[in-house]
């Protein structure tokens, strides 16, 4: 039985051997090992981006006006202190060169990750770009699995949070920090 959906049988590819595997693939997307690894890689990438966004969204609402005034620029947040987003509008205020730099940077990291995943490196696992400048990645297998599980779970939570931020600001027409001042 699937741990995530106990009323369904566990998908064949999700045998519990991968960190964070709760048997959730109700539509059966992962038909092969390669599919499963690609989906895990995508989940980690989206989770990492969402974790950055979950921190950056409220920080932009807190500090955008102060930084913009100090640099003699126009603030990006709107009059209700909402961060620019697809639902709130305001993305047109962002300099196109910034979007280009983001695209080039993300593409470079993606190409590097793809080349690393296609290499014959036995130590590679989804999401492992070999980037650990502070040396905080554990040396033991148990510690590594604990760290990978924490990243997966925090990434999943962050993806849900970002969707919540966007919907919350769209529905209530005020910034996230204004709706939850006790956190800020």
Question: Environment class of residue 11 by beta-carbon count within 10 Å: exposed (0-12), middle (13-18) or buried (19+)?
Answer: buried
Which backbone phi and psi does 59 adopt, to 5 degrees? -65, -35
At how many degrees (to 10) do helices 33-70 and 141-172 cross? 60
Under 8 Å between Cβ of 163 and 171: no
145 is in an annotated binding site: no
146 is in an annotated binding site: no
Q: Report helix, strand or coil for 6.
A: coil
72 is in an annotated binding site: no
Report the distance separating Cα 16 and Cα 11, nearest Å: 10
43 is in an annotated binding site: yes
168 is in an annotated binding site: yes
**What is 89-122 written as a DSSP string?**
B-GGGS-HHHHHHHHHHHHHHHHHHHHHHHS--T
142 is in an annotated binding site: no
Q: For residue 30, give the H/E element and its range.
A: none
> Binding site for chlorophyll b: residue ranges?
48, 94, 156, 168
State the binding site. Answer: 43, 46, 48, 94, 151, 154, 156, 168
Numbered residues of the known binding site for chlorophyll a: 43, 46, 151, 154
């Amino acid at each position: 039985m699937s741990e995530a959906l106990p009323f369904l049988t566990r998908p064949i590819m999700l045998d519990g051997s991968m960190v964070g595997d709760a048997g959730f693939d109700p539509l059966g997307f992962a038909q092969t090992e390669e599919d499963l690894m690609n989906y895990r890689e995508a989940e980690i990438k989206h989770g990492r981006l969402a974790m950055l966004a979950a921190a950056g969204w409220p920080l932009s609402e807190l500090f955008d006006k102060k930084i913009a005034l100090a640099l003699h620029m126009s603030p990006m947040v709107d009059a209700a202190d909402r961060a620019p987003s697809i639902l709130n509008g305001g993305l047109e205020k962002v300099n196109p060169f910034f979007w280009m730099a983001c695209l080039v940077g993300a593409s470079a990291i993606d190409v590097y990750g793809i080349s690393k995943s296609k290499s014959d490196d036995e130590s590679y696992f989804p999401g492992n770009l070999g980037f650990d400048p502070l040396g905080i990645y554990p040396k033991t297998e148990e510690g590594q699995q604990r760290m990978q599980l924490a990243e997966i779970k925090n990434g999943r939570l962050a993806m849900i949070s970002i969707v919540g931020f966007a919907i919350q600001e769209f529905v209530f027409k005020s910034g996230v920090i204004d709706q939850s001042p006790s956190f800020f």
